[in-house]
Chain A
Amino acid sequence: MEQYIGTTERWLLTPVVLMFLALIIYFLLRKIGWKVRAATGFALISPWLIGFIIFTAFPLIYSLYLSFTNYSLFGTPKWIGLKNYIYIFTSDYEFWPSVRLTLLYAVFTVPIGVIGSLLIAMLLNNRIKGIGVFRTIYYLPAVMPDVAVALIWRWLFNSQSGLINYALSPFLKLFHIGKIDWFGDPKYVLWAFIIMSVWGIFGTNTVVFLAGLQGVPRSLYEVADLDGASPWIKFWNITIPQISPVILLQVVMGIISALQIFTVAMFVRPTTGAGIFMNQLIYNRGFTQLHMGQASAIAWVLFLIILAFTLLVFKSTPAWVHYEGEIKR
């Protein structure tokens, strides 16, 4: 019992302290002549702001600093300039294979994810009986824990008794290939992960697309029907442009999550022959080999890669993303 008192105390104390802080901020802002509305607003978001600074902004900036240091988790970080970056770019035997594997994974899985979930969303957008049940079923993957899913995939990929090799066996026999060792043979590791990524089509992505589809005005389709447009024309000229902002969102989020693949890979633990994903490399470097500086440097390279891809996608938006009320130049 005694051990819970401390926790309960802190649990009760935290909101009180936060409220106190919010009040101080309010009075301070009022003192320096802010309007009531602005001061109230800032005071009210201050708990979140403080949390953001302590738990996100500070570690972020600190990791940038650490990437220029030699740091083993113990003792004080030692400034070594660009040495970590030079090391990972020139003599790190694990870095480039992991960049390659991670990028290849993203290149394949992002289009599969976006196109796949759009197709599923279109199916779920039909007005048929019991569509609510279907929508619920297709959302289920989103509430399944990643590790449980990874375990199921491991069974499916089992080379002797797994369903995937069983389903593929006619093709494998045709090409005289033995049973595929998905996680043991470096040739197949990437493909196994790409197949597993299909799972990500369902769940949240589909729901977001479904919401987008529901937002397309019916009048547009009715007009097209009057003109005798084919379903393909309607899809290509009405649906796609109308939901293009949603596609943009999905592509950007897809790139970010694909490049950050971690949980499943850590749980399945395939052969390292094909390299390991960048997040795994960061984890190993930091917590097993105790090179936090190198780990931070790799993390920042990963961040820059993600940023570059995201900017690239945003740069391309004028060509294909249509916003409501926007005038084409």
Chain B
Amino acid sequence: MKKRISILISTIMILSILVSGCSSSSNKQNTSSKNTTNTNKKVTIKLSTWAGADESKQLQSIIDKLNANSKDYVIEQNSNPADYDTRITTQLSAGDGGPDLFWVSAQRATQLAAQGALLDITDYLSKSSNKAANVSDYYENALAPFKYQNKIYGLPWAENPVVLYINKDMFDKAKIPYPDGTWNWDKFLSVAQQLTVDANGKHPGEAGFDKNNIKQWGFTLNGWPPVQMFVWQNNGEVITPDFKSSPIDTPEAKKAFEFYSELINSPAVPSQQTIKDQGFDTMFKNQEVAMFMGGAADSLETQVKFNCGVYEVPSGPTGKKVTFGDLYGMAINAKTKNPDAVFKAFIDLTNAIQEWKVVPPLKSEVNVDALKKLHSDRSTETLDTIVKSMSYAEGFRYFVNYPDWDNIFWNQLMDPIINNKANPDTLIPKVKPQLDNVLKQYSSK
């Protein structure tokens, strides 16, 4: 009996050694074939994105075309929007795993580049003949977050400038002319008030206006669009270009914060409670709000049943035109085993996505004719607005510790202004030293 058991055990042991030996040798074969790009086997490249269901289907058809045309690589898509940033960060930091190629927000790109998690593609770009590799064609603002100490660690594939979507039917009904590009803050607020109607058809400021029974609002905001856009429009800054301080206490910046707070508390804007309950952009789509500031890529005008127009956001009191442009990009894992093949896939895919998404961050592509070819579903007027907006779009000044800065800016300043009707003038002196402190820590590094 005892002998039998020991025979059984030794058989299992031998088997297990065999199995483990086999699997490790087969793994080795795989990696060796990956390393030599000249063999006829293509390199498999893992791509992570935050694309949702529909978006990832469209992306897959782009990838299929690239894979079919390439001799070097096969891109495998892994798309999941849930908690994307955290997932990517942990994957990149842990061991050898993680995707070779991944979508990255401008904010994370700056952070990850500084941590050494992204592949420096400066030399690859200068050698590549791909259209997307022409660094001088990118808007300077759009490329900035992907640069760290004069090296390039990724490329943006789209910029999404904020534009003003309006419900033309509501404008017609109120006999108000559409925006003509000359609107400033005062004009904008007065139009928003004229477009605000209570149950009895009265507007704010009129006798008998019932602010508790409003049926239609002129405008809506809830932290979006970002207050930075208004600060810039008034010649202010929230972070200086040298990243040394946060001048939110200058008269220019203060006036912008006050205007933001005025909008939040205005009867022309629904209460934050109402916005949360009924949905931010949903209220615009459901014709409860007349004007909405959204990204150009949102293409709301193609999704609604009413007559919807796309215009430039109003300019500041001195007529300065600025809008906020969010950036989406792609980068390569610094630990990738096949940088050459991955770069080829990276640059081909960047080029393909730039043709797919609104708005390509390339100066040569941002004109009505070029955009019309790629996005025939959008009207010439809309594309004209987008082109104009791109000419003055600005991004946030991201730096390594930006999340620390943003955490304070949002929790200590904006959240109280938006949710608790706080007065910006009393908050700014308290918050500024904290913001400056983060910047001081950063610049002393």
Chain A residues engaging chain B, CB cutoff 8 angstroms: 6, 9-10, 12-13, 16-17, 19-20, 23, 72-75, 93-94, 158-161, 179, 181, 183-186, 271-273, 284, 287-291
CB of A75 within 8 A of CB of B115, answer: yes
The answer to whether the Cβ of B376 comes within 8 Å of any Cβ in the partner chain is no
CB of A160 within 8 A of CB of B420, answer: no
The answer, among B272, B420, B434, for a CB contact under 8 Å with A93, is B434
Nearest Cβ in chain A — how far from B8, in angstroms?
Answer: 11
Given contacts A288-B403, A289-B407, A290-B403, contact A73 B277 (CB under 8 A): no
Interchain residue pairs with CB less than 8 A apart (5): A73-B90, A74-B92, A273-B419, A289-B407, A290-B115
Chain B residues engaging chain A, CB cutoff 8 angstroms: 9, 12-13, 15-16, 19-20, 23, 85-86, 89-90, 92-93, 111-112, 115-117, 271-274, 276-278, 401, 403-404, 407-408, 410-412, 415-416, 419-420, 434
CB of B277 within 8 A of CB of A159, answer: yes
CB of B434 within 8 A of CB of A186, answer: no
CA distance A211 to B219 in the complex (A): 58
CA distance A288 to B402 in the complex (A): 10
CB of A287 within 8 A of CB of B86, answer: yes
CA distance A271 to B417 in the complex (A): 11
CA distance A19 to B86 in the complex (A): 36
Residues of A within 8 A of B92 (CB): 74
CA distance A23 to B23 in the complex (A): 22
CA distance A186 to B16 in the complex (A): 60
CB of B16 within 8 A of CB of A20, answer: yes
CA distance A289 to B90 in the complex (A): 13
Residues of A within 8 A of B112 (CB): 74
CB of B89 within 8 A of CB of A273, answer: no
Residues of B within 8 A of A16 (CB): 12, 15-16, 19
CA distance A273 to B410 in the complex (A): 10
Summarize B's interface: helix, strand, loop or mixed: helix
CA distance A20 to B86 in the complex (A): 37
CB of B117 within 8 A of CB of A74, answer: yes
Given contacts A9-B23, A94-B411, contact A184 B434 (CB under 8 A): no
Residues of B within 8 A of A284 (CB): 407
Residues of B within 8 A of A273 (CB): 415-416, 419-420
CB of A185 within 8 A of CB of B419, answer: yes
The answer, among B89, B90, B116, B415, for a CB contact under 8 Å with A271, is B415
Given contacts A12-B19, A160-B273, contact A19 B12 (CB under 8 A): yes
CB of A185 within 8 A of CB of B420, answer: yes
Residues of B within 8 A of A183 (CB): 276
Given contacts A13-B19, A16-B12, A20-B16, contact A272 B415 (CB under 8 A): yes
Given contacts A17-B16, A17-B20, contact A158 B277 (CB under 8 A): yes
Nearest Cβ in chain B — how far from A153, in angstroms?
Answer: 14
Residues of B within 8 A of A186 (CB): 419-420
Residues of A within 8 A of B274 (CB): 160
CB of B411 within 8 A of CB of A179, answer: no
CA distance A158 to B272 in the complex (A): 12
Nearest Cβ in chain A — how far from B282, in angstroms?
Answer: 13
CA distance A73 to B403 in the complex (A): 15
CA distance A19 to B116 in the complex (A): 41
Closest 3 CB pairs of A and B: A74-B115, A73-B93, A16-B16
Closest to B83 in A: A287
CA distance A271 to B117 in the complex (A): 33
CB of A289 within 8 A of CB of B403, answer: yes
Nearest Cβ in chain A — how far from B78, in angstroms?
Answer: 12
CA distance A185 to B434 in the complex (A): 24
CA distance A93 to B434 in the complex (A): 9
CB of B115 within 8 A of CB of A73, answer: yes
Q: Which of B9, B92, B277, B412 has the most CB of A within 10 A?
A: B277
Residues of B within 8 A of A10 (CB): 23
